Structure 1
Amino acid sequence: MPLRGIVPPLVTPLLDNDTLDVEGLERLIEHIIGGGAAALFLLGTTGEFASLSYKIREELVQLSCRFVAGRVPVLVGISDSAFTESLNLAHKAAQYGADAVVITPPYYFSSGQPELLEYLKRIMKAMPLPLFIYNMPVHTKVMFTPETVRAAAEIPGIIGMKDSSANLAYFNQVQYLLKDRPDFTFMVGPEEITAEFVMMGGHGGVNGGANMFPKLYVDLYKAAAAHDMPKVLELRDKAMQISTTIYNVGKYGSSYLKGLKCALSVMGICSDFMAEPFHRFNEPERKIIEAALEKLDYKSLL
Structure 2
Amino acid sequence: MQRDLKKEPLKGIIPPMATLLLDDDHLDKEGTSQLIEHLIAGGVHGIFILGTTGECTNISYKLRRELITLSCELVNGRVPVLVGITDTSLEESLALSRLSKEAGATAVVAAPPYYYGLGESELITYFNKLADNLTLPLYLYNMPSHTKTMMTQKAVLELSKHPNVYGLKDSSGQAVFFNAMIYAFRNRPDFTLLVGPEEMMAATVLMGGHGGVSGGANVFPKLFVDLYNAADKGDLKEVGRLQEMAMELADEIYAMGSYGSSFLKGLKASMFILGIGTGYLATPLSAFEKDEIEVIRKKLIGLAAYKQYV
Give runs of aligned pairs for residues 152-231 of structure 1, distance below 5 A: 152-231=159-238
> Residue 308 of structure 2 aligns to which amino acid in structure 1?
S
Q: Is the 8 A contact 2:116 2:148 kept in 1?
A: no
Consecutive unaligned residues in structure 2, runs of 5 or more: 1-7
SS at 1:248's partner residue? Answer: coil
| 1:61 matches 2:68 | yes
How many residues are aligned here? 302
Q: Which residue of 2 aligns with 1:129?
A: 136
Aligned-residue CA RMSD (Å): 0.9
Relative to the length of structure 1, the TM-score reads 0.98
CA distance in 2, matches of 1:70, 1:105: 28
Given that 1:249 and 1:259 are in contact with CA atoms closer than 8 Å, whether structure 2 keeps it comes out as yes
Q: What residue in structure 1 maps to residue 148 of structure 2? A: 141
Query: In the alignment, what sits opposite 1:300?
Result: 308
- 2:85 maps to which residue? 78
Alpha-carbon distance between aligned partners in 2 of 1:175 and 1:190, rounded to the nearest angstrom: 16
1:287 matched to 2:297: no
Q: Partners in 1 of 2:104 and 2:251 — Cα distance?
A: 37
Question: Shift in Å at residue 299 of structure 1?
Answer: 5.2
User: TM-score scaled by structure 2?
Assistant: 0.96
> How far did 1:2 drift?
2.0
The whole-number CA distance in structure 1 between the counterparts of 2:182 and 2:80 is 24
Comparing 236-245 with 177-186, which one deviates more in the overlay?
177-186
Letter in 1 for 2:71: S
Q: How does 1:103-114 map to 2 (within 5 A)?
A: 103-114=110-121
Matches of 1:47 and 1:28, distance apart in 2:
13
Distance 2:142 2:224 in 1: 21
1:41 aligns with 2:48: yes
* Distance in structure 2 (CA, Å) of the matches to 1:125 and 1:169: 30
1:52-79 CA distance string (max 9 Å, x none): 1000000001000010000000000000
Cα displacement string for residues 180-216 of structure 1 (whole angstroms, at most 9, x for unaligned residues): 2111000000011111010000000100000000000
Q: Report the equivalent of 2:249.
A: 242
In structure 1, the partner of 2:17 is 10
What secondary structure is seen at the aligned counterpart in 1 of 2:186? coil
Deviant stretches of 4+, over 2 Å:
none
Deviations 1:102-146 (A, max 9, x none): 000111121111111111111122101000000000000101101
% same residue:
49
SS in 2 for 1:133: strand
Tell me the residue number matched to 1:89: 96
